[in-house]
Amino acid sequence: MAAENTSRASGVSRRRFVGGSLSLGLSAAATGSLSAMASPPSPVPAPAHPSDKKAPLFDPDYARLIGRSDLTYTGRITTGTQGMSVANGRFGGPVWQSNGSTLVMQLNHTDMFMFNDASAASKDHQNSGGGVLGRIHIGFGTGTVFDTTTQQHLSLYDGKLSIAGVGVSADVIADVDSDVVSIQVTDNRATPQPITVDLAMVRDANQIWGAHSAISTLTTVAGTGRPGSRNETIVLEQVVQEPADTGIKVNDHYVNTAVAATVQDREISDVVSGTIGNRATLRMTLPARQGTFTVVVGGNADTRKAVRTAAAAAVTNATKAPGHTCIYARSQAWWRDFWHRSYVYFPTQFNFEQRRNYYMYLAAISNRGSYPSKYNGGIWIGEEDRRDWGSFFWNWNQDCLYQPLLAANHLDLLEPLFTMRQAGFEQYKGAAQQMWGSEGIFIGETAGILGWETLPAGIADPMQQYYTFKTSTRSQEFTDITMRRNKFLSPWNWNVFGGNSQASYVTHTMMATQETAEYYWQVYCYTKDVHWLREVAYPFIKGAAEMYRSYDGLRKESDGKYHVYNTNLHEHIWAGKDVIDDLSMARGVFAAVVKASELLGVDQENRPQWRDIRDNLAAYPLRSDPDALWAASTNPALASQLATDQPAWAQGLRPAYFIRDLHGTESPIFKMLEKYDVLNLETRDQGLDNGDWEIALNTYLHSPGYLNQVKGQVIDRNGSSRFHVDAAKLGRADDMVNILNTQYGVFSTYGVFPNLLFNQLDYYSAEGYGTFAAALQDALHQSLSPTPVGDPVIRVFPAWPTAWDAKYKLLAKDGFLVSSSMVAGDIQYVEIESQLGERARVRNPWDSDVVLYREGRKAETLVAPENGLLEFKTHKGENIVLVRAGTTPDTYRTSELIDTTAATTSPS
């Protein structure tokens, strides 16, 4: 099925992601100068239909496999924060029971935001982030239908929530083809009562904050309902807008949203206005009757300025929706395709498997709109309009959500990130010029949906002088506008402490730009799609490289090396020298831009300088350097157990304007392991590391994460830590036992809700599940290039503890879908589906010769020592199996699964 486009202008994504794992049909959201970039990449020929091929060696019942990770809960879920969520990637939300007789669902939309980057109102409303359209309350009269015996089951395999109360049951599903949620209710009470359906506002009807307004209205539309009813649909519409106080129209904020509700298979006896708490509602009443009916809820979000189409679209979605059975059938088909793209199976580490699968579910229900899922509560937010830390994207936290998606064979779930970036490209160019006087693009570590507020020259010029340290004095105009802006956004972050420092938490942080470019490059590495590289990825890769090249702080010094001044290390070093993150990412982006420009035959005149920077970047700073800034352990007793005379990296050098909290595992000292294939097991094994591998290992062994989580087995209370990912990248299989358990412990540190989200006190989130899933996948499977532009090599179980049996199917670069199995420490086979027909390279997992089977037939014997490099040709759609000499693939053929009732409930 061809991918359908989504448009931010229309407010509704009509895209259906195809079953083929590598098809990444980008939306047509980007307009203007980037319109060509929105063209979908060249389609990848799908492999032969499974019926034409022999079944894979591990061929489980996927419904049972994924069903091991289902969420079940006995009792009443009392708050929205704990509710289990159902959505279609854009529209939906959590479901709970506010009392013993009322079922509630909050309706959220990924494309609804209360503020943009230019908002003056967001300064005073940092915890109001939007995303919320309304709530549905279904009341079952007097008496109790939801109590301690209520059974609640979220089926991940088909995206359905089932709730069984006393005499009443409900199934909740989202339509994958339109913004519709279908709630099918069955009332089998001996004495049924009238049932009410309330559509409720989530804020005051007329909410005014200065120039910012959020106006909500409830209306009834006649003649739209199903036959047999009073033909009425109730509608909640919102118009949120704020003209920019600078008068620059591109900065104006506008969003029009709507929710519409109607009923199938039951008449409506009355529609009246009312309130629930202090929120206005419209209430439909259904006569008392046993049997089944369906509440159908349609939604829409539209960001076209001054165009009010959301209500009509939401009504159409609700009234034209097919029946519950039809919606469920196509939902099942969509989810079946989704789950068959990859899997992990841990017979005894059930909780780890469940967290990974549940995260993939959350990613799926919140990443099909024009904007990516938010770290501080995705579509699962349930606190009305509250969103701690606001409606802005914080790159450090957001990156947690993206990390597992490529290997999980879900490039489709990165589409909203790319859609947002494409739409903001001109703003990112403006940001580089206005903030730094630089070419290329700049994406702030914290940014809203505009990506950058276009500023008057009278503000941008003095801001640039201030942030490039050409002056220590702020102009009055710059100071005044700062006081009208959210201080957590990059341009205004000097005000976080009231202006006591020129530096700031996020202003000089370059990672959002560089990590965005890295995702674009990685998609090319996985798909080899030159169309994607040329039309979509290259402008961002070049833009990121040019940002570094033209940045005032990049300076070639007397040692012949390029040093970087005035950049941040996350929130820990402010405006330091040779921050290790920037040196790592610069190595990657300059290698990528040179290679990409060569492949595309463009920018030949720029390559000499790009190469010069690539080849002459300063070495990473060492802890032995006189001006070193490095991560100290929180446990001195453990730190003293290790020698300190071994070379290890610092995180940066002085001069720095501020140094904060360098002891935590949040300190990102291993970007070279995490991004761009700058340093990895292949770099080491191919002798290309120039001594960096040993230093990386020493740094790891001296790090707070190792001393606390591995040696001390201390639970890391930071959900956004990457330390377990880094340990996997280093191949530390033995360490992963403690690291995965201590990192898993963060999920229950502050209490885990029935929906398995964990409360970080200032927000509840799934960001830690993203990095946890990435760490699991990296321990099972790595697809590594020895350099950012080298030929990739497949490694199976590079960091997986031998005591834990496991099977997996994950995606490798060059389009290889790789499956493997470890039982009792023995790697049984490597199965490869070649989706592009590229040449395959695999590290030999055995200490013997390797027999290669093509389409079930023995084809050749490959000779290499253990960990030696195996290379062989493949054809598109071909299935290849590698086994050690003396065995055959059929030896390992199985579909066996262990029931979760017999699985370990606490990982060890």
343, pLDDT greater than 50: yes
Any idea which of 35-39, 79-83, 522-526, 676-680 has the lowest mean pLDDT? 35-39
Give the per-residue pLDDT at 378: 82
Tokens of 119: 């908002």
Greater model confidence, 198 or 388: 198
Q: Decide if 724 is inside a domain.
A: no
Taking only the tens place, the pLDDT of each residue in 288-340 is 999 999 999 999 999 988 788 999 999 999 999 999 999 999 999 999 999 99
Confidence check: pLDDT of 44 > 80: no
Rounded Cα distance, 318 and 258, in Å? 11
pLDDT at 226: 52
* Residue ending a domain, choose from 306, 324, 350: 350
Q: Are the beta carbons of 840 and 869 closer than 8 angstroms? A: no
Q: Which two tokens stand for residue 478?
A: 């710059």
Domain presence at residue 297: yes
Angle at 353 between CA 350 and CA 356, to 5 degrees: 150
For residues 90 and 15, what is the distance between their CA atoms, to the nearest angstrom? 11
Q: What is the pLDDT of residues 795-846, one digit of tens each?
A: 999 999 999 999 999 999 999 999 999 999 999 999 999 999 999 999 999 9
Identify the domain boundary among 327, 350, 373.
350
**Of 479-488, 624-633, 871-880, which gets the smallest average pLDDT?**
624-633
* pLDDT, position 632: 66
The domain boundary residue, chosen from 324, 350, 376: 350
Whole-angstrom distance, CA of residue 184 vs CA of residue 294: 4
Picking from 449, 492, 347, 433, the residue whose alpha carbon sits closest to that of residue 441 is 433
In eight-state DSSP terms, residue 128 is: B
- The rounded percent of the chain whose pLDDT value lies above 90 is 78
pLDDT surpasses 70 at 120: yes
The better pLDDT of the pair 753, 490 is held by 490
Q: Any idea what the CATH number is for the domain that residue 845 is in?
A: 2.60.40.1180
pLDDT of residue 749: 67
**How far out from the chain centre does Cα 447 lie?**
16
In angstroms, the first-to-last Cα distance of the chain is 43
Structure tokens that stand for 885 in this block: 């000499």
Distance CA 833, CA 45 (A): 13
Q: What is the residue-averaged pLDDT of the chain?
A: 90
Cα–Cα distance list, 608 to 517, 549, 603, 605 (Å): 20, 12, 10, 7
Beta strand 840-843 with 869-872 is antiparallel
Summarize the confidence of residues 157-181 as an average pLDDT. 98
CATH of the domain at 182: 2.70.98.50
Closest to 659 measured CA to CA, from 782, 550, 571: 571
Residue 608 lies in a domain: no
Count the Cβ atoms, other than its own, within 10 Å of residue 168: 21
The 10s digit of each residue's pLDDT in 213-263 is 999 999 999 865 554 446 699 999 999 999 999 999 999 999 999 999 999
Question: Between β-strands 878-884 and 826-834, what pairing exists: parallel, antiparallel or unpaired?
Answer: antiparallel
For the stretch 515-536, pLDDT in tens is 999 999 999 999 999 999 999 9
Q: What is the DSSP letter of 6?
A: B
Domain count, the chain: 2
The burial of 49, by beta-carbon neighbours within 10 Å (0-12 exposed, 13-18 middle, 19 or more buried), is given as exposed
Determine phi and psi for 24, rounding to 5 degrees: -120, 80
Whether 854 is in a domain gets the answer yes
Whole-angstrom Cα distance, residue 550 to residue 432? 9
- Cβ atoms 599, 673 nearer than 8 A: no
User: How would you class 309 by CB atoms within 10 Å of its CB: exposed for 0-12, middle for 13-18, buried for 19 or more?
Assistant: middle
Tokens describing residue 630: 């490095």
Cis peptide before 655 (omega within 30 of 0): yes
Identify the bridge partners of residue 73 per DSSP, sorted by sequence position.
Answer: 152
In Å, how far are 533, 637, 845 from 599, measured between CA atoms?
Answer: 9, 53, 33
In this prediction, what percent of the chain has a pLDDT beyond 70?
90
Determine the Cα–Cα distance for residues 611 and 595; give it in Å rounded to an integer.
10
Q: Which residues pair with 105 in a beta bridge?
A: 95, 136
CA distance 34 to 28: 10
Q: Among the listed ranges 354-368, 374-388, 730-744, which one has the minimum average pLDDT value?
A: 374-388
d(CA 591, CA 613): 9
The answer to whether 378 and 372 are in contact (CB under 8 A) is no
For residue 13, is it within any domain? no
Q: Is residue 5 in some structural domain?
A: no
Q: For tokens 């529609």, what's the residue? A: 271
Q: 705 in a domain, yes or no?
A: no
Residue 761 pLDDT exceeds 80: no
Lowest mean pLDDT among 125-129, 180-184, 507-511, 682-686: 125-129
DSSP string, 147-190: STT-EEEEETTTTEEEEE-SSEEEEEEE-TTSSEEEEEEEE--S
Strand partners, 216: 238
List the beta bridge partners of residue 883.
851
User: In Å, how far from its chain's centre is CA 716?
Assistant: 21
Tell me what pLDDT residue 636 has: 61
Position 782 in a domain: no
Domain that holds residue 870: 805-891
543 within 8 A of 429, measured Cβ to Cβ: yes
Decide if pLDDT at 884 tops 60. yes
